[in-house]
Amino acid sequence: MKNKVLNKSELSKCFECNGYGLFCETPQGADWSTCPMCHSADYINKMYIENDKIDSKYDKFINDNNFTCFCEYCLTVFDTGCIHIFHGCTDSIYNGHLVSKWKNKVTGEIFEGMPVFDSIDEWADKYYDSVEILEWCCPGNGIACTRNGYYSKDKYPQYYNNCSLVKK
- Give the tens place of pLDDT for each residue, 112-123: 999 999 988 888
DSSP 136: E
Residue 8 pLDDT exceeds 70: yes
C-alpha torsion sign, points 119, 125, 126, 127: positive
Residues 6 or more apart whose CB falls under 8 angstroms from that of 106 comprise: 129, 130
Tell me what pLDDT residue 86 has: 81
Top-confidence residue, 43 or 93: 93
Q: How far apart are CA 147 and CA 135, in angstroms?
A: 30
- pLDDT at position 110: 98
- CA dihedral sign of residues 72, 74, 76, 78: negative
More confident residue, 88 or 135: 135
More confident residue, 167 or 136: 136
pLDDT for 52 equals: 60
SS3 content of the chain, % helix, strand, coil (to 5): 25, 30, 45
27-86 confidence digits (pLDDT tens): 766 567 788 998 887 555 455 555 565 655 555 555 555 667 888 889 998 988 888 888
In this predicted structure, the answer to whether residue 156 has a pLDDT above a threshold of 70 is yes
The predicted pLDDT at position 90 comes to 67
Mean pLDDT of 154-160: 82
The pLDDT value recorded for residue 158 is: 84
What is the average pLDDT across 3-28? 86
Instruction: Report the C-alpha gap between 151 and 137 in whole angstroms.
Output: 25
